Structure 1
Amino acid sequence: MLADPEAMKRFGNTVVQWNLHTKQPKKVFDVPGAPLEIRCAWGENHNYCFTSTALTSKIWLIYEDQEGAWQAKEVADVGDPSKIPLPVDISIQSDDKMLWVNTFMDGKTRAFDISDPFKPKQVFEQKIGAQVNMVSSSWDGKRLYYTSSLLANWDKKGADNEQFLKAYDWDGKQLKEKFAIDFTKEKLGRA
């Protein structure tokens, strides 16, 4: 699909900065590869956000430069882009030092040190399940929560169609599973 320009036209390739008061776009950034989620830094004067692109497996930084203009810059790869791990959700820890990136196709979560937002460095990787979608970091950064379903029509088939909520403790070096709810086993529907 990536080699087919017509197929790629069916996916979004922009990020739009909005003026929320006037409800008008301020700037449109060219971010090829279907950017899905955008997460902004929490800290005062941390005028930047991250997005990941599902089809090209890149992390992009959207930031305010020294002249006060906003820019978009590709800053890191997610996994092996040639294998299209399909980054789907991202979460910035409240101290703005870690970015969590989930990849649906390989079921992994990856942690990037974003102390320097222009040079994210992957520092951790772990398989969460056959498929993983959403990630949320607790405010203190010590717990992470994962769910698996992307879209019912896109979820994997058979045994790989896992439907779960999983919670992990994070000690800064490793994830340790605390509990998991199997939505299929409990007959709860999709996660």
Structure 2
Amino acid sequence: MHCLPCNLSFDYIGKYETFKEDTIHLLDVFKLLEKIKFDDFEKDAALDAIKDAASWVFSQKEEIAGCDVPFVCALFRVWNRLQSRGFISFKTVFPYKSDSEVRNITRQQFESALTNAHDESALEHLQNSRQAALVQALRSLPKSSVNLIQRAFKLDFLAFGYSRLPLVSIDPTNLHAFEYFQNCPPSFFLT
């Protein structure tokens, strides 16, 4: 009901989990495979996400300051979000400790730090991060809230083939202990 999917006629529905395959399929359907080439689809997608995240946080710098959020915490939230999305290893430590360290940092420098962190991340550390973050987020909610989410998105789960009970469908042996939803780097509170 929230986006009225039944009022629109869809020819294709893509999913984040199959984004690469969906994109290649659509390029093939529209006879664009010869014109549009990807050297490394996953790498290009990661670099695009990194660039967007860095651009966004720097475009919001004044608004962030107006909310009394230290900029180092805003950068950390971007870093942490990219970890939860599986673009930066959960084992890669945020490189900045204080607001004074990032006072004069540029978007390009931060983007470079994110890109380096991505490049140095071991694939096995990236693969299950999205699921681990989802489990952590859902486990942090009261059962009543999870039930409300399940009811609110029931049609979406059906339409897009998602489990209404994601915690049941995720193998807990593949998860790792990491705090994905921190507001500031732990070292920030030690300075």
Q: With the length of structure 1 as denominator, give the TM-score of the two structures.
A: 0.29
Higher helix share: 2
Q: With the length of structure 2 as denominator, give the TM-score of the two structures.
A: 0.29
Structure label with greater radius of gyration: 2
Higher strand share: 1
